[in-house]
Amino acid sequence: MNVTFRVFRFDPTREAEPRFQEYILQAEPTEKVLDCINRIRWEQDASLAFRMSCAHGICGSDGMHINGVCALACQRLVKDYPEGLITIEPLPNFRVLKDLIVDLDPFFEKHRAARPFLFPRGPEPERERLQSQEDRAAFDEAIRCILCACCTAACPITPQDPEFLGPAALLRAFRYLFDSRDGADRDRMEELDNPHGIWGCKGHGKCTEVCPKEIDVRKWLGRIKKRIHDAKRIAR
Ligand code: SF4
Ligand code: FES
């Protein structure tokens, strides 16, 4: 089928305004959107800039705004857009570096701020720190996150509050807060207990809607809220 790709183009070092450029491709319905934009770059316009690596939903590098929805280009097929017009823009709410490439430094700074590592609880064991299967299951879903930034880009709070940690960083905080081997739970809860932390989340659920790893982000952020709420109630 003939597919028209309407692609956002902008080089802020040389252009005053962004624009859209159209490319027409003969594509198979089962072809990935990522493969199509690769073909555009190889066959029609080598200047088109975008990130990609694994092409299989693993690395999280090709998050884009495709027909108005944040998604991985390698997980979207041409047949998902039967009208034959696919508009591709960079992830919203991030600064554009070039075309479909955005500056993800603020995203990863917030991820680091969530302290995504273990503060081991108790004395050092002779061998490894064991964890029951039940305890491990508490954050099974959350560790599927590949840090693609789709959730944070789609979250309606992101443009309203630049200091908001955002769903991906909060999900990572959840993963450690609910790890039975971690001993920093009080500090973690204190750090999250503010309007730019967990209470910045108003439960819109856009994160859950767009997550390419089908993580129910809203649900796990709700668990953080409940844990902080319960800890305060007990302390009273
Ligand atoms: Fe991407 Fe989902 Fe992780 Fe958000 S939670 S960064 S959408 S994989
Ligand atoms: Fe790696 Fe799409 S290219 S997730």
Closest residue to atom 7 of ligand 1, CA basis: 211
Report the pocket of ligand 1 as residue ranges, CB < 6 Å: 145-151, 167-168, 171, 210-213, 215, 217
What was the pLDDT predicted at 236? 80
Q: Which ligand is nearest to the CA of 63?
A: 2
* Cα-Cα-Cα-Cα dihedral sign, residues 163, 167, 168, 169: positive
Q: Which ligand is nearest to the CA of 148?
A: 1
Closest residue to atom 3 of ligand 1, CA basis: 145
- Phi, psi torsion values for 232, nearest 5 degrees: -70, -40
In Å, how far from its chain's centre is CA 33? 18
Q: Which residues contact 136 (CB under 8 A, 6 or more apart)?
A: none
Number of the ligand 2 atom closest to the C-alpha atom of 72? 2
**139: which 2 tokens?**
């954050």
Q: Which residue has the tokens 């990609």?
A: 52
Q: Output the CA 71–ligand 1 centroid distance in Å.
A: 10
What was the pLDDT predicted at 235? 83
What is d(CA 153, CA 92) in angstroms, rounded to the nearest whole number?
5
Helices (H), the chain: 33-39, 105-113, 133-137, 150-154, 157-160, 167-177, 185-192, 206-210, 217-235
Amino acid, single-letter form, for residue 105: D
Closest residue to atom 4 of ligand 2, CA basis: 57
**CB neighbourhood size of 145 (10 A):** 22
Closest residue to atom 3 of ligand 2, CA basis: 55
What was the pLDDT predicted at 3? 98
Averaged in consecutive runs of 10 residues, what is the pLDDT profile of the chain (236 residues)?
A: 97 98 97 98 98 98 98 98 97 98 98 96 90 96 98 97 98 98 97 98 98 98 97 86
What was the pLDDT predicted at 234? 87
Residue-wise pLDDT tens digits, 202-235: 999 999 999 999 999 999 999 999 999 999 888 8
β-strand pairing of 85-89 with 2-9? parallel
